[in-house]
Copies of this chain bind each other. A is one copy, B any other.
Amino acid sequence: MGDCSVGLVQEMQKTVYVGTFVQSKSLQELDICAKGAVGVDENGRIAFTSRGFDNLEAVLKEHEGWSGAKVIEGQKNGFFFPGFIDTHIHAPQYPNAGIFGKSTLLDWLNTYTFPTESSFSSLSKARLIYNRVVRRTLSHGTTTAAYYATIHVDSTNLLASICLSNGQRAFIGRVCMDADLSPPTYRDVSAADSVTSTLAVINYIRQLDPQGALIAPIITPRFAPSCTAHALSLLGALQHEHNLLAQTHISENPSEVELVASLFPSASSYADVYDAAGLLNPRTILAHAVHLTPEETALVRARGAKVAHCPASNSALTSGVAPVRALLDHGIDVGLGTDVSGGYSPSVLEAARQAVLVSRLRSVIVAADREREQREKKGSGAEGETEGCDDAEHAKLSTEEALFLATRGGAQVVGLADRIGAFEVGMEWDAQMIGLGALVGGGNHGQDSTEDVEAEGAESETVEDVETSPVDIFGWESWAERVDKWVFNGDDRNTLAVWVKGRLVHKREGVEV
């Protein structure tokens, strides 16, 4: 890993990526191009794409000035995939990843989260951990992350610098929390402090990355219970004034929903608390949305706000299973979040896997509800068709859909759908090179049923590496099946190299790019 930052100092040059490309065509469909080429210019922008050609030279000649371009070939048993977008991650909580016991949201905050976050008054601690988070998430293929930091301006600024120096695209949120929920030692002293400190971070980042090429500030009221209505309103105004993204949490946990109702008695719902503050708009990311009422879902849809779905976290903290299908059916944009450390894993691939799995359990819950409704109808003598089975089936997310959420969906959520999340001309080259290892048995496996092999000769003939890749490809799998195998058994070992805006920002040892 000594060369992990090589990409940052390299001269940017025209580069053509050649190999198999996989990306989302639509929510339901992957676009798999078995042989393609993507030309990326000196600014990291995709200048052309080509598919199904015989002769690369001929392709390059079609594009003026590309004949001498650098060529990077993908893995034979692998593909280029758009970089992952993590729409919800708490960088300072990373040291607690995997540690949550049997807690749920509100006690988890007090037991694990606030003590850890408050220690980020130490810049040396922040440097250690933020560097690690950024290196880790890059190694998992996260090219863009919407980070929550802490209330500390200096260490939040440091996170911005670390993202920039490591080449990760990031939204950096200085967390605002001026209400009594938080401990007195880790809290904004006033609503004005929330604004002033946020402004300090906005100004810092504007100097750090004046063009906003990679880093942008994001307005971050922690969540309604930890903010006063006054602070929320001021932050809503700040978002509009500076035309920034905002991010917060909503309806993660039933006790939290009750708490909000008691803290904001004049609001008609949790969503209404944010709406009243001007924080419900197309540039706002709402994490979780597990327990929205139908009225709230309609409001979120009407305002165009986005949702960060965090399945690993929702299971770990016993929050429930978000009704992702219903959100999508309402036309709400949804991305995936790792929600470290409510979520135990910094990997968006793990989030995609969990999104598929929990959608199956959502299906089970819906099926049980429908069955009960039908029984009750029968009991009451009422007539009517049940849509039970279809509804339950409909709740399931496919691998393709989870990967859409991880890329194009995430891009919609962070307002960059025209720049990242796919391989289209004019977009920026935020990409990962996926390798699935050597074919098991070299791809040869006899189907000869009459073969007479002595069982005594059973010693492993194919002593192959089980270390390089956790995924086993035998050679008969279609590309779609290889993608499924990657989603379910793959990990950072399969992410061989990562680029952001055309720059190499991570590669595994021994990989040539």
**A interface residue numbers (CB < 8 A to B):** 1-2, 4-5, 94-95, 97-102, 119, 121-125, 127-129, 131-132, 134-136, 139, 154, 157-158, 160-162, 164-166, 204, 312, 315-321, 344-345, 354, 357-358, 360-361, 363-365, 368, 393, 396, 398, 440-441, 445-449, 451-453, 455-456, 458-467, 470-472, 474, 476-477, 481, 484-489, 491-493, 508-509
Contacts and interface: CB of A to CB of B under 8 A. Distances in A.
Given A102-B396, A361-B358, A5 B466 contact: no
A139 B393 contact: no
B467 A124 contact: no
Given A4-B463, A125-B445, A487 B161 contact: no
Contacts of A319: 364
A97 B135 contact: no
A447 B119 contact: yes
B131 A447 contact: no
Contacts of A128: 440-441, 445, 462, 474
Given A455-B154, A456-B161, A467-B1, A97 B489 contact: yes
B5 A158 contact: no
Nearest to A361: B361
A99 B451 contact: no
Given A455-B154, A466-B1, A467-B509, A484 B449 contact: no
A252 to B, nearest CB: 12
Nearest to A485: B98
A99 B481 contact: yes
Contacts of A139: 466-467
**Copies per assembly:** 2
Contact of A455 (B161, B453, B489): B161
A451 to B, nearest CB: 5
B315 A448 contact: no
Given A94-B472, A124-B451, A449-B122, A321 B364 contact: yes
A131 B440 CA distance: 10
Contacts of A488: 97-98, 344-345
Given A364-B321, A459-B165, A472 B316 contact: no
B466 A125 contact: no
A360 B315 CA distance: 6
A136 B461 contact: no
Contacts of A315: 357-358, 360-361
Nearest to A290: B364
B97 A318 contact: no
Given A94-B472, A123-B451, A365-B365, A131 B461 contact: yes
Contacts of A358: 315, 361
B464 A97 contact: no
A122 B447 contact: yes
* Best-buried of A97, A100, A124, A166 by chain B (most CB within 10 Å): A124
A227 to B, nearest CB: 24
Contacts of A481: 99
A491 B470 contact: yes
B508 A467 contact: yes
| Residue of A4, A102, A509 with most chain B CB atoms under a 10 A cut-off | A102
B463 A1 contact: yes
Contacts of A318: 360-361, 363-364, 396
Contacts of A471: 98
A215 to B, nearest CB: 12
A98 B487 contact: yes
A165 B135 contact: no
